[in-house]
Structures are given as C-alpha cells and as structure tokens.
C-alpha cells in the first residue's frame, strides 16, 4: 500500500534519474518500488528533463569540472619554427626597446623636416587635415618599429652580448627600410607618400640609407651604455 512516506523516495529517485540512468535501472531491478512485481526493462530510458530542473550542485560541478588534456590538445598547439624560437629566446628586450625608440624618432624627424618645408598657412591653427597627417606620421613610425624588430630578429641584431656591428645594422636596414617606405608610399603617408610614382625609387633608397646612418650613429654612441 502506497503512503506519503513511501512516495518521497520515489520522487527523489525519479528526479535524480534524469541525469543518473544507472541509479534508476538498478533501483527497479532490485525491486525498491513495489516489490518483485515490478517489470522494468534494463533498457528503460528516463524522459528528458529541462535544464531548469537540474540541481544546482549538478550543473555547478559540470561547469567547474576540469578535463584532462588529450594528445589532440597538445598536437593542435601552434609552435613557431625552431630557428625562430631560438632567435626569440636570444633576443635582448633592452636592445629591442632602444632600437624601436630610435627608429620612431627617425620617422618623426623626417615628418618634422617635411612639415617645416611646407608653405605657411594663411590661417594659423590645427585643421582636420593636420590631425590626419599627424596620425599618419605616428602610424608610419609604428610600422617602421615593427619592421625593424622583425628584421633584427632575422639578422640576429638583438642577441645578448652583441656589440656594435655595422654589417648587421646594414642588413637590418636593408630588410626593414624598403618595406616601410613602400608601405608609406602605398598609403600616401607623409613624407614619403606625397611624392609621385617616379620618385618612389629615390625615396626608398634615400630613406633606407638615412635609416642606416641614424641607427649606426645611435648604436655607436650608446654602445657603452648597454
């Protein structure tokens, strides 16, 4: 005979059966609900229960559960080539910081010289065109710094204990200067981008030589500080 006290365990077990199938199957198999007259197949699949009815403890455990990493997880991790990793580990962050500061100063000095060569304005003051031109100049300096770091890693210009080496500086300037000036000309950033196409080759050659000269002078003067 069913009573209120005997129905409470049934409700609890049915509620748990939504996400613990084995508990429900074993309970029916052992005859916990009505004795031996219970004919429940072991293939009984409990009905689906809405996620809103799940116990907080259950979904919290599932969310916070940590899965052990598999072989696929390690295989899917991208790693740079061995020679790139080796050169990145040997690169000195101080050397990179000093060189990127000097390259940015060179790019901004070029823009300052170009700006001083422009004719005077009839109406003094900042205009929208001036703001855009200044943003382009700072962007050009940032692009040069990025190209210089990439070229310096390739030429081993930033390795620990590397002294002043004009050969490495020349190779680095030859790798970083032309792409930087070509980008400046492509996007028409001043001062390189204001020249016509016929003067692009001259701009690239003179700009790269100027970059090498400034970096060589700066490295020679600050070699004792490092």
Mean pLDDT by 10 residues, the chain (226 residues): 52 54 51 49 52 46 53 61 78 90 94 88 83 93 96 89 82 96 90 70 91 92 68
* pLDDT at res. 9: 57
* pLDDT at res. 66: 53
* pLDDT at res. 69: 57
Residue 91, φ and ψ in degrees, nearest 5:
-70, 135
* pLDDT at res. 141: 96
Exposure string of 46-81, with b = 16+ CB inside 10 Å and e = fewer, is eeeeeeeeeeeeeeeeeeeeeeeeeeeeeeeeeeee
* pLDDT at res. 123: 79
* pLDDT at res. 87: 79
What is the pTM assigned to this prediction? 0.63
* pLDDT at res. 57: 47
220 and 164 Cβ atoms separated by less than 8 Å: yes
168 and 156 Cβ atoms separated by less than 8 Å: yes
CA atoms of 225 and 97, how far apart (whole Å): 13
* pLDDT at res. 68: 57
* pLDDT at res. 202: 87
* pLDDT at res. 153: 93
* pLDDT at res. 23: 47
- Quick check: helix, strand or coil at residue 19? coil
* pLDDT at res. 213: 95
CA dihedral over 186, 189, 191, 194, signed as positive or negative: positive
* pLDDT at res. 4: 47
């Amino acid at each position: 005979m069913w009573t209120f006290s005997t129905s409470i365990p049934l409700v609890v077990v049915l509620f748990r059966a939504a996400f613990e199938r084995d508990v429900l199957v074993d309970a029916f198999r052992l005859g916990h609900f009505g004795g031996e007259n219970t004919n429940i197949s072991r293939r009984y699949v409990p009905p689906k229960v809405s996620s809103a009815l799940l116990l907080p403890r259950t979904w919290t455990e599932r969310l916070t559960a940590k899965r052990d990493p598999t072989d696929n997880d390690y295989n899917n991790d991208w790693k740079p080539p061995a020679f790139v990793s080796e050169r990145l580990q040997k690169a000195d962050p101080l050397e990179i910081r000093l060189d990127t500061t000097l390259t940015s100063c060179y790019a901004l000095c070029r823009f300052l010289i170009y700006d001083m060569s422009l004719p005077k304005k009839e109406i003094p003051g900042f205009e929208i065109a001036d703001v855009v031109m200044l943003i382009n100049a700072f962007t050009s300096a940032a692009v040069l710094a990025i190209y210089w770091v990439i070229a310096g890693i390739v030429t081993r210009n930033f390795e620990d204990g590397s002294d002043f080496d004009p050969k490495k500086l020349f190779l680095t300037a030859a790798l970083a200067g032309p792409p930087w000036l070509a980008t400046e000309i492509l996007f028409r950033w001043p001062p390189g981008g204001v020249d016509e196409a016929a003067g692009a080759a001259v701009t690239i050659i003179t700009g790269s030589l100027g970059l090498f000269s400034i970096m060589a002078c700066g490295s020679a003067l600050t070699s004792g500080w490092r």
